[in-house]
Amino acid sequence: MDIRETTADEFIMGNNAAFKTIYEATRGMLYAVIYRMTGNAEDAEDLLHDVYVRAYEKRHQFKKGKAALSTWLYSIAVNHTLNVLKQKKRWDNVVFDPAFEISMLEKLTEQDDHNLVNTVLTRMNPDYRVCVILKDVEDKPYEEIAELLQIPVGTVRSRLNRGRAQLQTLFQNADNALSRGELHTTKGGM
Amino acid sequence: MDYNSFISQLKAEPDHPAPEIWARINATIHTPEPQRIRFLDFISYFKWIPAAAAGAALSFFIALSVFQDNEKTAYERYLNDTNYIYLACAYK
């Protein structure tokens, strides 16, 4: 995404018009990645607000020669969202939590794909989730993901593999349960 | 749903953020710093109180133990002295 160098300079000087130009140019990209990571529009809007406020406060730390302004904003968005998701700690036992599997099976039978995606996302380990989203959804190269998250490339690869395996197991378990007709039995037991 | 359709669902472009987000950002950045309530700053300021209290308590107990050691030594010296006097008296 191209942001003119003069606009970036004016933003660093604290010019509000330049900041709004940058906001208009980057909000879609940042909102998309935050929304994909959170799976929730309200949380994504709150986080987007925090990201731009943080970027404005830390604008003097932006080094022009190192990366583009849009890349710098993107890294703030990804890391801030990841930190917030880690604080929530609601993702554990994604594969083996019976209550989660029931809610997933309900979404599968209702053919409600959008809610199913959000249900799955909100229960995934954020470290795996961010790697799956950046690689498989945003199509970022391994090196860029490693630089964004400030972790080694090998760690990105292992987290991505674990995330993919976790999701595949999850969907396979749900399909098996559906084919065995366990949904009604489980729901009856509730 | 399988993994590939899950990724396809995620790839679908979400709607843009609500227009009032910019107004919120603008209001926040133009609010003077002291007026903003920063809970974490508040907590981080007060976290020094237990640390200072623990430090003061540790210093107090160290000073007390040194003082008690000195006292004990003086008392022992007194006991020794009196014992020597008793021994001297008994010897005589």
User: Distance between alpha carbon B81 and the CA centroid of its chain, in Å?
Assistant: 48
Decide if A52 contacts A23 (C-beta within 8 A). Answer: yes
Q: What's the mean pLDDT in B17-29?
A: 88
Which chain B residue shows the shortest CA-CA distance from A47? B21
- Angle in degrees, 0-180, between the axes of helices B20-29 and A41-57, rounded to the nearest 10: 30
Residue A93: per-residue pLDDT = 44
Residue A46: per-residue pLDDT = 92
Residue A189: per-residue pLDDT = 31
Confidence of residue B80 (pLDDT cuts 50, 70, 90): confident
Task: Please list the alpha-helical segments (H only) found in chain B.
Answer: 3-11, 20-29, 39-46, 48-91
Residue with the larger pLDDT of the pair A31 and B12: A31
What confidence tens digit (pLDDT) does each residue in A166-190 have?
888 877 776 676 676 654 433 333 3
Coil, helix or strand at residue A144: helix
Confidence of residue B58 (pLDDT cuts 50, 70, 90): very high
Task: Identify all chain B residues contacting A47, using CB atoms and an 8 Å cutoff.
Answer: none
Q: Give the one of B10, B18, B24 whose C-beta lies nearest to A117's C-beta.
A: B10
Residue A182: per-residue pLDDT = 56
Amino acid letter for position B20: E
With a cut of 0.90, is the ipTM above it? no
CB neighbour class for A186 (10 Å; exposed up to 12, middle 13-18, buried from 19): middle
Give the angle A32-A144-A134 at the CA atoms, nearest 5°: 35
Percent of chain A with pLDDT over 90: 34
Q: B41 CA to chain A: closest CA distance, Å?
A: 15
Question: Would you say residue B36 has pLDDT above 90?
Answer: no
Name A81's Cβ contacts closer than 8 Å, sequence gap at least 6: A33, A34, A37, A38, A47, A51, A130
């009856």: which residue's tokens?
A188
Is B25's CB within 8 Å of A167's CB? no
Decide if A6 contacts A69 (C-beta within 8 A). Answer: no
Helix (H) or strand (E) holding A178: helix A153-180
Q: B48 CA to chain A: closest CA distance, Å?
A: 23
Q: Work out whether the CA dihedral A76, B33, B42, B47 comes out positive or negative.
A: positive
Q: State the pTM of this model.
A: 0.68
Q: How far apart are the first and last CA of chain B?
A: 107
Tokens of A78: 């990804």
Percent of chain B with pLDDT over 70: 75
Residue A34: per-residue pLDDT = 92
Q: What's the mean pLDDT in B55-74?
A: 81
Task: Chunk chain A into consecutive blocks of 10 residues (it has 190) and report each block's average pLDDT, rounded to whole numbers.
Answer: 75 88 91 88 91 92 81 93 81 51 59 68 83 91 92 94 86 70 42
